[in-house]
Structure 1
Amino acid sequence: MRNRIALPLSALATGLLVLTVALAGTVGVIGRGGGAQAAQAPVGIGAKKLTTYDVDMSGAPLAQNPTNPLAGGRWSVNTGYWDNLYPAYAAATGTDRTYLAKSALQPRMLWFTIGNSAHRPGAVSSYIAQEQHGDPSVLVQLAIFGIWGFKGEGNRTKHKLTAKEKATYRSWIGRVSAEIGSSRVAIVLEPDLALTAKRSDQPKKQRTKGAAARQGLTRYAAQTFAAHNPRAAVYLDAGDADWLSTAQAATMLQKSGIAYTRGFALGATHYSATSADVDHGAAIASALAAQGIHRHFVIDTADNGRPFTYSQFYAKHPHRLFDDSAPCKSATATVCNALGVPPTWKVTSTPVPLTAAQRGTAAQLVDGYLWFGRPWLRNQATPFVRSKAIRAGMYSPY
Structure 2
Amino acid sequence: MNKKALFITSILTVLLLGLAGILYYNHHITVAKVEKEVNEIYFNNKHDYINPNYSLEDLEKVKYDSRHIYGDHAKELQELIDRAIDKRKAIQFLNDSVLDDKPIIEGNQVNKDWVIEDGVSAEEVDKKKDRFNFDYSDKLVEDLKANYGLLQQVAQSNETIENKIDHLPEKFMIESLDKDLDAFNQVAKEISNYIDHTNKEGQADLFKKRLMDYALSVKEQTANQDGYSKSLGKLLKQDELASVLTGSPVDYRPLVAITFDDGPDDNVENAMDICEQYGIKATFFLQGNNTEKKPELAREIVKRGHHVANHSYDHPDFAKLTDKQILDQINRTQDIIKQATGVTPTLFRTPYGQDRARTTQLVAPLKPCYWNTTSRDWQLTDPDDIYDMIMKNMQHHSVILQHSRYTATTDALKKVIPELKKRGYVFVFPEQIPDIKTWNHN
TM-score, structure 2 as length reference: 0.27
Report which of the two structures shows the higher radius of gyration computed on alpha carbons: 2
TM-score by length of 1: 0.29
Q: Which has the higher helix share?
A: 2
Which protein has greater RCO, CA pairs closer than 8 Å, 6+ apart? 1
Structure number with higher strand proportion: 1
